Amino acid sequence: MANLRIALCQMNPVVGDLACNISKMKEWVVEAENNGANLVVFPELVISGYPPQDNLLYDGINRDLEKADKDFFGFLQRRNEDRHGGSVIVVWGNVRRGKGLRNSAKIFLPADSTNGFPLTHARHQDKRRLPNYGVFDELRYFRPGDDEPSKVFVSENLIFGVTVCEDIWYQQNYLPDFALNGAQVVVNINASPFHVGKPKYREDMIRARAGDNQVFVLYCNMVGGQDGIVFDGDSMVMGPSGNLIARAPLFREKILYADLDLADVARSRLKDIRLNDLEIPRAEIIPFDFYGIDKQSGFSRGKISKVSSSIAQIHDALVLMIQDYVRKQGMRGVVIGLSGGIDSGVVAAFACEALGKENVTLVSMPSKYSSQGSIDDARRLAYNLGIYEGFVIVNIQREVDEFINSHERAFGPMQNPVSIENIQARVRGNKLMMYSNDNPGVIVVSTGNKSEVAVGYCTLYGDMVGGFNPLLDVYKTDVYRLAEYMNKRAGQEIIPRAIIEKAPSAELREDQKDTDSLLPYSKLDPLLRLHIEEYMTSDEIILSGFCKEQGISEEEVLRVAQALIRGSEFKRQQGVIGSRISPVAFGIGRRMPIINKFNL
């Protein structure tokens, strides 16, 4: 059976590390060729890494990207010439200079050495739809590629087209340009960030595009953490009937192989004649010689990796984010303040999994308000993680007293009890930052969850200090779910049961509980989701019947939305960068003014 063997290279590039990115691309091309691949695909902007952001405002950077592109193309050309007309098509993403910068797919077409393209020239298909929402800001840098037609690459054995990310996501997309001009395959290269629910949404979208246009869709996505966002990979191959043929694992670098029987396209179009009534759109037809499709043995439809549960996806996303945030910066480890509570416990477990326990330091910093139970719970958690020498207890009460005495000598007795609470958090933050300064290569990881940060239940320059916050986009109720998941996954108690079951408390005053200041998290989190992620005002939430359903008053809804959330915006805008696992993450996904009198 004649078939096309494809290799989707689900790669984790580093923004700006052009030499490293290209070196890996070259290695993977060789590996894919050795495994019989005829078509090798890399993600969007794989040479630069994504998103390059304001680096693109420096023309010197853009010249470097162009030079890197020529380097990779020259490598492919030399391999092609050594094989006297090779059989491997390669598609990758990079910036293209010309009439404005373009987010472009580059295409290497194999050819006889006498007809090969010159080293300075590669075929391209520029991105037409430039997203400007959520984490995206591409209109700031790029010119849309809609001034050029779709390019259809035509050989005797294979007809294909290439699209870049967003160009396939809209219902009004460009796939008919290729399908109606005879293409059997459409390649789509991506830098598509993860959020909860994205894998299912993505699969449904690709299935619809493949089935509507009766083509194979090769969806190749980036993987890896970049600042506060994470790319989950999830590359896949969808058949012309909307049938899933192959799928790469989430959150892991991988070359996904699959063999495509191109006759499936003809069979599908004979059975489903919807395309027959459509006008053939204008396209640029680019002929090329391609002898790569042979009757290969070992025909395989490819492996379909299982999509994990939502809580497993959150876990894997956060572990990868920590790992890449630390290691891509050339750092070696983290230090975490371990309170004996669930948030710091879950973050400590993440860090050990991401970096290895030998690269994690845990510091318990009790004051006179810290219970012995919390100190014991912190010690037990550290030991469960296998951290012994890296677990340190430092009592902070003397420093707290010195701050209070110094303040009162200068300004008189303290008037606000919250000041004393915040001093404890700030002493702890200072100690962690001092440790980081004194141990080069170690960054502070903070531990505030989305519920607390939303309502300002956190201390600026205290527990909000650090280099990264994995829980910034994770609600408190999901932190509990993560703790249970990690214990179940390990088959043993990682997060001590006492930590999971005790009432949450900041322990900054006598007998303090979070519920002294906040709604129970089981009621608060649904309210926060409606207000933050569903964009419902407090009035709309009240009118929806939420108060009766949750057993809370209208006054509580107004206090949370208008006083706590709105009144804490100044904290969030000064806070540490953190995770993005929802479409509306603080910082990168939610942009609100600090001075804000709207009736939220």
Two structure tokens written together for 82: 């050594």
Closest CA to 12 of 40, 39, 55, 42: 42
Reduce the DSSP state of residue 367 to 3 states and report it: coil
**Where are any strands of DSSP class E within 243-317?**
244-247, 254-260, 283-287
Catalytic residue among 44, 138, 353, 421: 44
Q: What is the CA radius of gyration of the chain?
A: 27
Catalytic residue check, 44:
yes
Length of the chain: 600
What the block records as the tokens of 368 is 């006179």
3-state secondary structure of 355: helix
Rounded Cα distance, 237 and 239, in Å: 7
C-beta of residue 350 within 8 angstroms of C-beta of residue 321: no
Which phi and psi angles does 216 have, rounded to 5°? -75, 130
Q: Looking at 127, 450, 523, 571, which residue is catalytic?
A: 127
- Please give the order of strands across the beta sheet that includes 159-164: 244-247, 236-238, 216-221, 185-190, 159-164, 150-154, 283-287
Whether 127 sits among the annotated catalytic residues: the reply is yes
Q: Comparing C-alpha atoms, which of 264, 282, 110 is closest to residue 180?
A: 282
The b-or-e profile of 485-521 (16+ CB within 10 A means b, else e) is bbbeeeeeebbbeebbebebbbbbeeebebeeebbbb
Structure tokens at 252: 């892991």
Pinpoint the alpha helices (H) of 294-384: 310-327, 342-355, 372-384
165 is catalytic: yes
Closest CA to 447 of 343, 375, 578: 343
Active-site choice (9, 33, 151, 165): 165
The rounded Cα 99 to chain-centroid distance in angstroms is: 31
| Chain centre to alpha carbon of residue 155 | 37
For 307, how many CA atoms within 13 A lie in the half-sphere containing its CB? 17
| Residues 6 or more apart whose Cβ sits within 8 Å of residue 438 | none
Q: What are residue 375's phi and psi, to 5 degrees?
A: -65, -45
Q: Specify burial of residue 477 (Cβ count, 10 A radius: 0-12, 13-18, 19+).
A: middle
Q: Going by DSSP bridges, is the β-strand pair 216-221/223-226 parallel, antiparallel, or unpaired?
A: unpaired
Q: Which positions are annotated as active-site residues? A: 44, 127, 165
